[in-house]
Amino acid sequence: ELAAAHCAGVLSLADAARLVAARGRLMESARAGGAMIALEAQESELNDLLAEFDGRLSVAAVNGPASVVVSGDQDAAEAVAERIRALGRRTRRLQVS
C-alpha cells in the first residue's frame, strides 16, 4: 500500500521510506511472545478451546475443512497444539517474522 501511495503521488519517496522503516520497527517489537500454528482441525471444534484462553489466541486462517491456523500468545498456541496432537492430529508451528 505504501508503494502504491507513493506511485499515486499521495506520499513523497522520503515519507514512504520513513513509514516503511517505522512499520518494520513496530513489527519487530510486536513479534515477541507470539506464535502461529497450523492445526489439523475444523474451525468449529476450536471455538470452545480458544474461548478458554480469554482472547490471547484466535483463528488467523481457515485453509480448508480440517486445516486451521491459530495466532496469538505463544504459550496459549502451544497448549492448543498439544491438545490437538493428543487427538492424534498434526500440528506445525509456522516460522513467521
- What are 25's three cell numbers? 520497527
**Mean of all residue pLDDT scores within the chain:** 92
DSSP state of 21: H
Q: 66 exposed, middle or buried (CB, 10 Å; 0-12, 13-18, 19+)?
A: middle
Predicted confidence band of residue 28 (pLDDT cuts 50, 70, 90)? confident
Question: How many residues in total does the chain contain?
Answer: 97
Beta strands across the sheet bearing 34-39: 57-64, 67-73, 34-39, 91-94
pLDDT at 70: 97
State the pLDDT at residue 89.
98
- CATH number attached to the domain at 33-94: 3.30.70.250
CB contact at 8 A, 69 and 39: yes
pLDDT confidence of residue 6: 93
Confidence of residue 60 (pLDDT cuts 50, 70, 90): very high
Model confidence, pTM = 0.69
